[in-house]
């Protein structure tokens, strides 16, 4: 294998980060109108210049500790190959019912085509059908693509291509499938959820609902973005790919509203070998939402049972986690407000070293109380501090625009390789 080809390897949420996939938001987030905001799944419209300045922080911090791959660059490499280009463009045109644009897209340069596939393609109003349809875009902009976590997820040496709950995001997962298989950058086995019962609309699952607690423990969210059928598909395919031994899957049901509960990582993330961030009312409080423990033996489900909560079953499995409360301990209003702004959505780039939004002040205060040194992102980027000097730290991102898209640091990062954790 060439040294330039990265072997995908992710077996935890907290292992030291070697490589990560990002997508810097571009014109696609500005190609938006209030009419399209709901279709785009946004809670508001972003100011691009401010969003990009904020995004510089997460990219700048992670560039200090890991190799960064950019979606747009990898997509252009895929499109350089005529066969890969034909397959990808053909699938997109069929799915989005714009086959009359196939030749136009095929004639574009790779860089321009990559830009169009992400930022959108204005429609040609040259037929009665296109005129009556009254749609500005033939290919809609991928407004949500800077949340690279959702459309694919790495589990061990597998790239699992997610089947998105909303059709507006299906092109993202198609692009990710092409990148893992056709960019020449990665070595991995690909599991594509689209290849299984393609006409079954009840199968959908997204990366924000998939957390790797340990190499033998998966945490999964079941809600608006990941169906029980989608979870069953994931487990079936993973068991088929790696049937040996005992594995545990913990499934947390999620409410349908508010919309900030879209994924498990909006209410629960791992911070260290012994600490996690939780939205207390759902994860620890009394609720009507089940937590289910599935035990898998040698590739087959041996037991399914309801348990009290995620932390209880993890403790039985040898992971004793201290919960840190999103929004603090005392004020339910603070908890709800900060959860809404992705206060539980932390990204760990090493055990005990994490990234989050600074705006969630009560949550950041809780991190400080639990021995995390609070460090502004710009201090890291400008070299005022070295992350290697800290055993535990919480790097804070200034965020007013990025959270409007409905996600935080974990949503914006797709780990490609992590070092093993010494449990």
Whole-number Å distance between alpha carbons of 372 and 352 = 8
311 within domain boundaries: yes
1 within domain boundaries: no
Helix or strand (DSSP H, E) at 178: helix 170-182
Confidence of residue 1 (pLDDT cuts 50, 70, 90): low
The whole-number average pLDDT for the span 254-273 is 91
User: Looking at residue 39, what is its pLDDT?
Assistant: 52
Report whether 162 contacts 209 (CB < 8 A).
Answer: no
Confidence of residue 244 (pLDDT cuts 50, 70, 90): very high
Confidence of residue 261 (pLDDT cuts 50, 70, 90): confident
Exposed (0-12), middle (13-18) or buried (19+): which is 143, by Cβ within 10 Å? buried
Largest CA distance in the chain: 65
User: Looking at residue 274, what is its pLDDT?
Assistant: 98
Whole-number Å distance between alpha carbons of 330 and 28 = 40
The whole-number average pLDDT for the span 325-348 is 93
Confidence of residue 331 (pLDDT cuts 50, 70, 90): confident
Reported in sequence order, the residue ranges of 254-326 that DSSP labels E, i.e. its strands, are 268-272, 275-278, 291-297, 300-307, 322-325
Report whether 411 contacts 265 (CB < 8 A).
Answer: yes
Sheet-wide strand order for 152-155: 152-155, 158-161, 189-192
Which of 25-34, 190-199, 225-234, 285-294 is most confident? 225-234
Q: What dihedral angle (degrees, nearest 10) is formed by the CA atoms of 140, 173, 398, 60?
A: -120
Whole-number Å distance between alpha carbons of 198 and 48 = 35
pTM: 0.94
Whole-number Å distance between alpha carbons of 61 and 59 = 6
Higher pLDDT, 403 or 115: 115
- In the numeric block, the tokens 């507006």 are attached to 168
Whole-number Å distance between alpha carbons of 147 and 173 = 12
Whole-number Å distance between alpha carbons of 210 and 143 = 22
Cα 255 vs. chain centroid, distance in angstroms?
19
Length of the chain: 423
Q: What dihedral angle (degrees, nearest 10) is formed by the CA atoms of 52, 55, 61, 65?
A: -100
Whole-number Å distance between alpha carbons of 263 and 54 = 23
Which of 46-55, 267-276, 331-340 is most confident? 267-276
Helix or strand (DSSP H, E) at 116: helix 110-119
Q: Is the pLDDT of residue 383 over 90?
A: yes
Domain that holds residue 369: 6-418
User: Looking at residue 199, what is its pLDDT?
Assistant: 82
195 within domain boundaries: yes
Confidence of residue 47 (pLDDT cuts 50, 70, 90): confident
The whole-number average pLDDT for the span 401-406 is 86
User: Looking at residue 197, what is its pLDDT?
Assistant: 82
User: Looking at residue 275, what is its pLDDT?
Assistant: 98
Residue 146's domain is classified under what CATH number? 3.75.10.10
User: Looking at residue 364, what is its pLDDT?
Assistant: 98
358 within domain boundaries: yes
Task: Give tens-digit pLDDT for 102-158.
Answer: 999 999 999 999 999 999 999 988 777 767 777 788 999 998 999 999 999 999 999
* Percent over 70 (pLDDT), the chain: 96
Whole-number Å distance between alpha carbons of 84 and 387 = 40
Angle between helices 332-340 and 361-369 (to 10 degrees): 110
Q: Is the pLDDT of residue 41 over 60?
A: no
Whole-number Å distance between alpha carbons of 134 and 224 = 29
Task: Give tens-digit pLDDT for 353-370.
Answer: 999 999 999 999 999 999
Total of domains in the chain: 1
Grouping H, G, I as helix, E, B as strand and the rest as coil, residue 78 is helix
423 within domain boundaries: no
Q: Is the pLDDT of residue 31 over 70?
A: yes
65 within domain boundaries: yes
Average pLDDT value for the chain: 93
* Percent over 90 (pLDDT), the chain: 81
Task: Give tens-digit pLDDT for 201-216.
Answer: 899 999 999 999 999 9
Q: Is the pLDDT of residue 288 over 90?
A: no
Task: Give tens-digit pLDDT for 309-325.
Answer: 999 999 999 999 999 99
Considering only 13-17, 240-244, 274-278, 379-383, which range has the smallest mean pLDDT? 240-244
359 within domain boundaries: yes
């Amino acid at each position: 294998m060439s040294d330039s080809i990265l072997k995908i390897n992710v077996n935890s949420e907290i292992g030291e980060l070697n490589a990560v996939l990002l997508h810097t938001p571009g014109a696609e987030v500005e190609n938006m109108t209030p009419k399209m905001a709901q279709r785009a799944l946004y809670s508001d419209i972003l100011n691009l210049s401010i969003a990009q300045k904020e995004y510089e922080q997460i990219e700048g911090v992670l560039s200090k500790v890991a190799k960064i791959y950019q979606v747009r660059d990898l997509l252009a490499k895929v499109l350089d190959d005529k066969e890969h280009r034909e397959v990808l463009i053909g699938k997109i045109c069929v799915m989005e019912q714009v086959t009359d644009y196939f030749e136009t897209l095929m004639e574009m340069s790779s860089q321009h085509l990559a830009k169009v596939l992400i930022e959108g393609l204005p429609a040609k109003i040259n037929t009665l059908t296109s005129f009556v349809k009254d749609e500005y875009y033939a290919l809609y902009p991928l407004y949500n693509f800077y949340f690279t976590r959702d459309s694919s997820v790495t589990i061990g040496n597998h790239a699992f291509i997610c089947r998105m709950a909303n059709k507006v995001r299906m092109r993202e997962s198609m692009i990710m499938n092409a990148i893992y298989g056709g960019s020449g950058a990665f070595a991995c086995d690909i599991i594509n959820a689209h290849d299984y019962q393609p006409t079954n609309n009840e199968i959908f699952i997204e990366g924000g609902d998939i957390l790797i607690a340990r190499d033998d423990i998966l945490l999964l969210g079941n809600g608006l973005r990941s169906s029980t059928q989608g979870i069953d598909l994931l487990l079936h395919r993973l068991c088929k790919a790696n049937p040996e031994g005992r594995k545990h899957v913990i499934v947390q049901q999620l409410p349908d509203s508010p919309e900030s509960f879209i994924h498990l990582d909006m209410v629960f993330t791992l911070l260290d070998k012994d600490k996690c961030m939780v939205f207390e009312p759902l994860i620890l409080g009394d609720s009507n939402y089940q937590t289910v423990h599935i035990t898998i033996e040698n590739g087959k489900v041996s037991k399914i049972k309801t348990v009290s909560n995620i932390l209880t079953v993890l403790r039985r499995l040898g992971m004793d986690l201290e919960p840190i409360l999103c929004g603090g301990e005392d004020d339910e209003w603070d908890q709800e407000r900060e959860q809404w702004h992705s206060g539980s959505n932390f990204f760990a780039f090493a055990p005990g070293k994490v990234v989050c939004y600074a705006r969630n002040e009560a949550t950041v205060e809780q991190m400080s109380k639990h021995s995390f040194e609070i460090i502004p992102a710009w201090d890291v980027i400008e070299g005022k501090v070295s992350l290697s000097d800290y055993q535990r730290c919480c790097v804070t991102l200034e965020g007013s625009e990025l959270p409007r898209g409905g996600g935080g640091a974990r949503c914006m990062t797709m780990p490609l390789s992590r070092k093993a954790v010494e449990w």
